Structures are given as C-alpha cells and as structure tokens.
Structure 1
Amino acid sequence: MDKKNKIYITDLDHTFLRTDQSISDFSAKVWNELSKDSILSVATARSFQKTHDFLNKLHLHAPMILLDGTMVVTPEKKLIDLKLINKELGDAVIAEGAKFGIYPFIISLKDMELNESFNVPTTLNLYQKGVLNNYAGDPRLRVHEQIRAEEMNLKIVYFGQLDTLKPLTEHLQKTFSDALEYKLSPEKYSDGWFLTVLHPEGDKAHALKKVAEYLGRDTQEMTVFGDSINDIGMFKLAGTSVAVSNALDEVKEVADIILSHSNDEDAVAKYLHKTTQHK
C-alpha cells in the first residue's frame, strides 16, 4: 500500500449517512473522487449486508469495521478479525438482564460465510418495538419466545429508558467485569437509550488497530469521523479525529476537529472535499 495514500474512516449513522439513511449525490461524488488516491472506509454498528446496501454507489476497497468493531472484513468478504461472545457468557448476560425485566436483541453469525441472525424476544418494550419497525421483512429476523444466545454472538443490545439501562449497565459491569465491553448511549432515532454488550476487544478502537496492521500503516496516520459513544475509542487512537456538529458532547470533547455542519448537511463530504482541493 502506497504510504502517501491518506486514510479516512467514517462512522455511518448520523455521521456520513443522512438521518433518513441516504447518501447524497454530493457525498458519493466526493467519496469516489477522493478514493482514486486515498484509502476510504467505514466504522459502523451496521452489519455487512446493511453496510454493503448503503454503500453500493461508493468505491470501497479497504477493510470495513462492522458491528461496533466485532468484525473487520474486506468488501469482498475476506475476514480479517472477529471478536465473539460465546454462548455460555451470552446466556449469563441474558439471565442477569431478566432480573431487570428486560430481554435483549442478539446479533449472531450463523456460519463463517458471515450470514447473520438477528434474534429478538417476544417480550418487548416500546423502544424495542420502535426499533423493530425498521426491520420489517428482514430475512435475518428470528423471534424467540425464550431468547438464548447462539454459538457465535457478535453483540447483545438492550433498548429502553435510561432509568432501566443505567442500573443494568452497572450491574453487568459488577457481575462480568472486564470479560465484556459495555457501551451505554442515547438512541438518536428515538428518545430512548441503548446498551451494547460486546467482546472486550470487539470495539472500534481495537478494530482500527487491525485495519492499520492490515494496511501496514499506523493509526496515527488515520483521520476518523464520528458522532457517538462507540466512536470515542477510535478518536483517541487516530491521528486526527473529526466530530460532526450533531455529535454527542462526550464525542466533541475528545475530537481534534468539530465540523460546523451536521450529517444532514454532508459534513464529512464537505471536509473531504476541502482535503481534495488542497492536495
């Protein structure tokens, strides 16, 4: 890989994607032009298939960080890194969550072809029902009367109110300590919150290191973009971290640059366009 090629890695939701989850023609044009002599990729909570669908009009040649960092994979489905929660630990998390009257969504791998299973319980709160509205007809969806972990679990996700999820987070941290990673964040598509439980090395920071190793580069050579809690780790590792104007305050506090535009104003593309103009 040419050492002169600059590296840009962006979050998708509320960062590169607009709120309606679209990519503007301007953003696509800027990305594709810059990709001719730079390395561009994504770091997202989204799955391989969802990411592939979103980015179908973009030129993408570098490894992608997916599912909060649990998976690093090339666009051609070459797996670079995978961090899973085993079934025993996953079932233990579910049992502890049940004490709080809440059951999670579980995103798992069905096979090493990276086919996913999106497992949901029949006992749902209003926030979970709202999230599921976006997954009507999704072929990955599996509904379980008694939800259990699978053999290869990528992430366990709880949606609900802060007054439920904050004590649950504290309880899980006390119970499982550093055997897991816990990220509690506001849900920007609603007024709820979500708690993502991951393998302790299944976050964007660890994944960014894997991408750097694969490219034969250093994370200090990278520019990253984001808006939410799960971006903070990679912000601290990258040479340049850039927050969109709609980013959470916690993210802006650790960002090197805070953009004056939001995701709905093509903030990342406008920054990249300036980079193109000043090469």
Structure 2
Amino acid sequence: MTTWDPAQYLRHAGHRARPFADLLARVGDLPAAAPRIADLGCGPGNVTTVLADRWPAAHITGYDNSPEMLARTEAHAGPTPGGGRLDFAHADATEWTPAQTYDLIVSNAALQWVPGHLDRFGDWVTALAPGGTFAFQVPDNIDAPLHALMRELAGTARWKSRLGEVLRREDSVHAPGVYLDHLARLGCAPDIWQTTYQHILPGEDPVLDWVKGTGLRPVLTALSDDPEARDAFVAEYRDLLREAYPTKAYGTVLPFRRLFAVARKEA
C-alpha cells in the first residue's frame, strides 16, 4: 500500500484545492437543510472543511485509507460554527459501501487510485437520497510528461523488476463519455467537463516537488527500503522533468488537465 506524506502533499495545497472549489460550484441545492455528506478520499482534511463552509449545518464525514492522512484530519474534527459536525473515519474506496443515506457523496482527486471505480458507482448512487448528488474530480493527465516520463523510466532495464507494476496505468481514468454514460444509466443527470489549469510553480524543480506529493508516491514507497536506489531514480526523473518543464523568469508552468463530474440522482 502506498505511503503518503501529508506535509509534502500540502506544499501545493492552494493549487490542489482550486479544482475542488470549481467542482462544488456546480453542485446545486441538496435535499436536506442539514445534509449528510461523505468526502471519499479526504486526504489530510483541509478541503473537507470547505464543505462545512458551503453547508454549515451539515454532518460531514471524511473517509480515507491512509493512516498518515487521517492523523492530520484530527485538527479539523468536531462541531462546526453553523451547527454541523466534521468527523473522519478509515475506509477504502475499493470496497466502501455506505451504511446510511447521504445527500452528497463527493470525491476530490482520489478515484484515479481506485481500480475498477466505475463498478463502485452503483452502490454509491443507491446510497444517495432522492435528489442527492454524487460529484468528483480526478486528474486526467496520465499522458502528460510528468507521468509518461515516470513510466518510461520505471520500465527501463535498471528499474523494471522493482517498479514495473507499481505506477498508475493509462486506464486509471476513463474518457468523459464513459462516465456520462455510466452515470446516466444509474438514473442520474450527469454534468461532465474537463479543465486544463496552467499552474505557475515557484522554486527549484517545482514539478518534481509537486509529484512527490502524489504520482511519485508509489515509487517512493516501493524503494523506501533502499535509499540509494530511491535517490538515484529521483535524480534521473528530475533531469527528465527539467527538460520537459523548463523554468522561465516567472516560474515553471505545469499544465494540468482534470475531469469533473456532477451527477444528480432523480428526485
């Protein structure tokens, strides 16, 4: 299982939080005045708090399968100023089946790590109250240089035996039409779109710093028992990223495409 580093992930918290705000902007009214909300793959919980800002009276539960991430959520747990509540619990999205009804199930940049996540949608939509919403966003850039170069390097003779099977595959996120069709067949009214953000990142090797918090985590986990090999892979990968994402006077531009889905269940 991949080991996560909340501090590294949060180094780019502003850029990572913006897509969640864009997703929520397309979520309409929920069935209940004091809604029940699930945040699936909540990470360190920093964006889960945004849900309490939008729905102050809501009871919100963030779910994650990373002990490291859940440890960071403790600072956010408890009553909210609007009379609601934030709590967090361990759950693995590959098998999570809601035990109660939710007005909103939301997931931010997590489902790309869940093989077969399309097959989970049925249980999640079933758990929605009539008129409830299932909303998610995922990185949709597995073909971008930061991922393609990582896969190519991991597939070379030096690394293939140790890293050939640990990285996300090219089918970890589906085409927009696949999500639209699947959600419509489940009785939802789906709204699907893509956005490419042009992030300007400061500092030295900022794309490497970004990916150390997300896509590179499986490699860092697989090589954690061999620091020399880990550092060698990172150095090779860093050099490839420097060429693919050149630094300019104002910073380094990281184009980042994401896929969004908001699916409202029939009332």
* TM-score w.r.t. length of structure 2: 0.31
* TM-score w.r.t. length of structure 1: 0.30
